[in-house]
Structure 1
Amino acid sequence: MHYTNTKSILSSKNRMNIYRGCSHGCIYCDSRSNVYNMNHDFEDIEVKENALLLLKKELIKRHKTMIGTGAMTDPYIPLEKNLKYIRKSLELIYKYGFGFSCITKSDLILRDLDLLKKINEKSKVVVQMTLTTADDELCKILEPNVCTTSKRIEVLKRFQEEDIQTVVWLCPILPYINDTYENIDSILDSCIDAGVSGIVCFEIGLTLREGNRGYFYKKLDQHFPGLKEKYVREFGDSYSLPSPNNDELMSHFLNKTKKHGILNNTWEIFEFMSDFPQKTVQSRLI
């Protein structure tokens, strides 16, 4: 871990990344890619030391909207347990009447359930959870340093109990590893049971670029001997690596989500998550 100062914390689309880098160890992580110009080791997490001060200044100036985080780095990495930058951000978001949306794989988010409930009463919260495999043992290989899929589903159900809306990212699905009907169907059943509002699934497959491709292939050699050579033969240096089962599994995904009233159009889901409600409920400021 190391500290840095930054000039701003919110993007033009009201998204923030207080941390850069991650220790979850997901073997497929796109954020390792060279395109993001991270000039430090990925596991040497950069902490934006002045983030909270900047966030307060920017929230005072901006119109009420949804504040999002987690697109580049999971906000609930283990460092957050002690640093509490995300929790302190939520206090500011609540105080100034904004909404909140985040993407995570971690059950640490439940630590902040009290604040998330307050924000949701005052404006809106959407918790997004990534699910890739229904098999917890496989999950420990693909996403070794974060809670298992079964635990994440418990988290989704906990938010369902509190009337906080949830969205699942069903990606990436790795060709010849978890791209099976049984896996996709089991995850969908869990999403239905947890009452998720939408599921983001671009296609059944993954993407690789310079920077994350080498790490991914190293992990294939470690855990799935011989599979890297199959990937190289079939996909070369392609950015998009669709599963050979893509058409069948996407059809099943679309049909089952439609049947159960779950949003499955990516852009409709993004619109739903960014829509800021006009609520009349007034909450006591922190």
Structure 2
Amino acid sequence: MHEVEVKGILSAQNGMNIYRGCTHGCIYCDSRSKCYQMNHDFEDIEVKVNAPKLLKDALCRKRKKCMIGTGAMTDPYIHLEEKLGNTRKCIELIYSHGFGLAIQTKSARILRDLDLLKKINEKTKCVVQMTLTTYDEDLCKVIEPNVSTTRERFEVLKIMRDNGIPTVVWLSPILPFINDTEENIRGILGYCIEAKVHGIICFGMGLTLREGNREYFYKKLDEHFPGMKARYTERYNYAYEIPSPNNDRLMSIMKRTCEDHGIICSVEECFNYLHKFEEKSQYEQLMLPGLD
């Protein structure tokens, strides 16, 4: 890790990344792409030491309450968070200033902050976003080696459900010829149904590859899936979008399942939900689990 002081923390859409780089080791990670101009080794985490101070200043200046997002590029619960606690410091500020939170992760470490997530959700709105890609636990450990397995993430979703905290699942990416199967998609959807997730975000069955993450991805294919790189290069060459040949069938299964179980799956509708700030009435607060 290395520490830096930055000039700002919130984007124009009120999103933030407390860290840059990641140690989860997901073989497909788009954040490795050179376009993000991360001028350090990806696993050498850049720690924004003044992030909590900048966030406090930004929240104090805002005239209207809103949702604050984190985790879109770097998971807020990377391994270093256990030691540094910067994500928790930022969540404490979001709670104390009365803002909402939309937080995205793949890690069960988020349970450490369940107390704060519940407090935010009592006053305004807290949405936990969880990425699920691979129902098979053994395959998950290859594709996403240093992070909570899908089953562990599913347990987190159920805990959020039981505490009245809404969840949204990112069903992405789905890797052609690896996990783009009906069995995989139905397994993940089964988890989503049982956990009563509010929505599922899926732009399509496939992934994106560009300079930086493409090279890393192909290196890992050579390590774990011999011959797979040649299959990719033959079919997709250097394309940015890598759609699964099973896309139409799998998307149809996902949409039909979501409709049957009252899960929103329109990307636009999901994003509108994530960005919509809500304050709960006193009655709503009393109706939350554990508060009656």
- TM-score interval (norm. to shorter): over 0.9
Q: Match of 1:171?
A: 172
Displacement, 1:281?
4.3
Q: Distance in 1 between matches of 2:279 and 2:76?
A: 27
Identity %: 61
Q: Does 1:247 align with 2:248?
A: yes
In structure 1, the partner of 2:290 is none
Deviation at 1:93, TM superposition (A): 0.5
Query: Shift in Å at residue 75 of structure 1?
Result: 0.4
Q: AA paired with 1:21?
A: G
Q: Conserved in 2, the CA contact under 8 Å of 1:199 and 1:263?
A: yes
Match of 1:137 in 2: 138
Matched, 1:270 2:271: yes
Match for residue 24 of structure 1? 24
Q: Which amino acid is 1:255 matched to?
A: R
Gaps of 5+ in 2: 286-292
Distance 2:114 2:134 in 1: 25
* Matches for 1:76-225 after TM superposition, within 5 Å: 76-225=77-226
User: What is the CA-CA distance between 1:113 and the residue it aligns to?
Assistant: 0.2
Once the two structures are overlaid, the 10-residue window that deviates more, 272-281 or 90-99, is 272-281
Whether the 8 Å contact between 2:123 and 2:279 is mirrored in structure 1 is no
What is the match of residue 33 of structure 2? 33
Offset, 1:76: 0.4
Q: 1:13 aligned to 2:25?
A: no
**SS of residue paired to 2:226:** coil
Greater shift, 142-151 or 271-280, is seen at 271-280
CA distance in 2, matches of 1:241, 1:228: 13
Number of residue equivalences: 283
Residue 59 in 1 paired to residue 59 in 2? Answer: yes
Shift of 1:82: 1.1
TM-score, normalised by the number of residues in structure 1: 0.98
Please give the per-residue CA displacement for 1:74-128, whole angstroms capped at 9, x wherever unaligned.
0000100110001011111111000001110000000000000000001110000
Q: Per the alignment, in what secondary structure is the counterpart of residue 231 of structure 1?
A: helix
Cα deviation for residue 279 of structure 1 reads: 2.5
Flag structure 1 segments of 5+ consecutive residues without an equivalent.
none
TM-score, normalised to structure 2's length? 0.96
Would you say the 8 A contact 2:125–2:279 is kept in 1? no
Cα RMSD over matched residues?
1.1
